Structure 1
Amino acid sequence: GVVRFFKKGKLSPRYVGSYEILQRVGKVAYELKLPSELASIHPIFHVFMLKKCNGDPESILPIEGIAFKDNLSYEKVLVQIFDRQVKKLRNKELVPVKVLWKNHLVEDATWEAEGDMKSCYPNLFET
C-alpha cells in the first residue's frame, strides 16, 4: 500500500527535506526523488503540497534527524511551552497552552489543552 499524509497523520514539520523533481506529471503535479526512508510514500505530489526551496537552511529540516517508525509515524516530544491563555465560557474555563514540539519550527507551534499536556508531561507543571 501507499502511505499518504492526512490532516491527522501528516508529516509535521511542515516542510521536510529538499527533494529533486524528477518530472512533471500532468499540469499540476510533480514526481519527486524521495530517500529510501520514504519509499512507501507515493512520490507524486500536487503543487499545493510543495514549496519552492528558497535556500534558507532554517526553513528545511533534515529527515535524518527524525526517528520514523515502520508506519512512518513518529513520537511527538514536547520541547517548550510558549504561552498560556484562559478562555472563559459561560460556566467553565478552557486553558490552552502553546507548545513547541521537537523537530518542528517555531511557526508550527500548536495550541493544546493544558489538561492533556499535564497528563502527558506532569514534570513541566510542577510548582
Structure 2
Amino acid sequence: MRDKEYAVEDHVFIKVISMKGQTRFGVKGKLAPRYVGPYEILEKINPVAYRIALPLVMEHIHNVFHVSMLQDYLRDPLHVIEPIHVLLKDDYTYEEKPIQIVNR
C-alpha cells in the first residue's frame, strides 16, 4: 500500500466505519455510504494524522483522522451547484420550467 500524503486545504472523503445492524446516515445495510464528504484538511498533525473541517452536524465526532480513514477527492468545478433565484408568487408557490432537454 502506498503512503498517502495530503496538504492543508486538500479535500478528502472520510471512511464510515460499519457496525452490523447499525443505521448510518439514515440508511441501513448495503446501501449505507462507505465514505462521506468531501471535507477540507485544516492541519497535518503528523505524517499519519490530519485535522479535518467537519460540519456542525458532525460536531460530536473527533476531527482528527488517521490517513487510512481518508480517501482522495479530486476537485471538480462541476461538483459546485450554483444557487438559483426562485420567483415566488403571492401565495408562496412557484412555476417550474425545464432548463434543457437532455434526451428525447
TM score, norm. by length of structure 1: 0.36
Structure number with larger C-alpha Rg? 2
TM-score relative to the length of structure 2: 0.43
Q: Which has the higher contact order (CA 8 A, sep 6+)?
A: 2
Structure with the larger helix share: 1
